[in-house]
């Protein structure tokens, strides 16, 4: 994946000594994203994860999307629940067992540093170094995950906004006008 300065400069930490707030630093003769960018990506994804988890389930909604297979297929999904599952499973898959224990106690269960260091029998310095490594590692994974990444969040929740049909030919949704589907009544239960 090719990283650009316009993508990383908004995510970089102003106080970072490695990239000096630009988001890219030179390594082995080429520009690579700084760890502060990956930590920022992780923190944005983690904040959305917390929001989805803490939201009351009665406010969960179903979203309708056009199927990636094309045609007139429409699929439905519950994006908040899907995001919670994706965040958890991707994190579980890419962390080592030691990192997973710290991630589970600190990020998923919400334990502070004192409780984590006591439970995991590590000192405070090791704990915070591991937290920063986890944030950087998962930030990179969340951004570079293929075919659908967890970051940027607006693309995950609302889909891509660009037109997938580049040519001006007869392909694409404008080639065949779609008929409106007949209106259907959907029974609604009243919640007390």
Per-residue 3-state assignment (H helix, E strand, C coil) for 40-77: HHHHHHHHHHHHHHHCCHHHCCCEEEECCCCCCCEEEE
pLDDT exceeds 70 at position 169: no
Ranges of each domain in the chain:
35-157
Confidence of residue 157 (pLDDT cuts 50, 70, 90): confident
**83 close to 157: Cβ distance less than 8 angstroms:** yes
Mean pLDDT of all residues belonging to the chain: 83
Tens of pLDDT, residue by residue over 77-103, are 788 899 999 999 999 999 999 999 999
pLDDT of residue 187: 54
Percent of the chain whose pLDDT exceeds 90: 46
**pLDDT reading at 175 higher than 50:** no
For 154, residues 6+ apart whose C-beta sits below 8 A from its C-beta are none
Omega into 152 within 30° of 0, i.e. cis?
yes
Q: What is the pLDDT of residues 33-55, one digit of tens each?
A: 999 999 999 999 999 999 999 98
What pLDDT score does 177 carry?
47
- Predicted confidence (pLDDT) per residue in 118-140, tens digit: 999 999 999 999 999 999 999 99
Least confident range of 46-55, 60-69, 76-85, 165-174 = 165-174
The answer to whether residue 189 scores a pLDDT higher than 70 is: no
């Amino acid at each position: 994946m090719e990283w650009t300065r316009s993508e990383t400069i908004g995510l970089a930490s102003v106080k970072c000594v490695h990239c000096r707030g630009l988001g890219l630093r030179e390594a082995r003769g080429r520009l690579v994203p700084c760890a502060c960018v990956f930590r920022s990506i992780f923190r944005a994804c983690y904040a959305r994860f917390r929001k989805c988890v803490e939201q009351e389930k009665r406010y969960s909604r179903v979203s309708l999307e056009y199927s990636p297979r094309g045609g007139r297929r429409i699929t439905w999904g519950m994006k908040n629940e899907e995001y919670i599952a994706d965040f958890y499973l991707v994190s579980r898959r890419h962390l080592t067992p030691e990192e997973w224990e710290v991630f589970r106690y600190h990020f998923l269960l919400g334990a502070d540093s004192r409780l984590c260091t006591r439970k995991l029998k590590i000192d405070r310095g090791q704990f915070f170094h591991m937290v920063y490594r986890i944030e950087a590692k998962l930030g990179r994974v969340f951004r570079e995950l293929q075919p659908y990444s967890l970051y940027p969040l607006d693309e995950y929740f609302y889909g891509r906004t660009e037109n997938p049909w580049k040519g001006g030919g007869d392909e694409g949704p404008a080639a065949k006008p779609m008929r409106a589907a007949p209106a259907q009544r959907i029974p609604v239960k009243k919640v007390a």
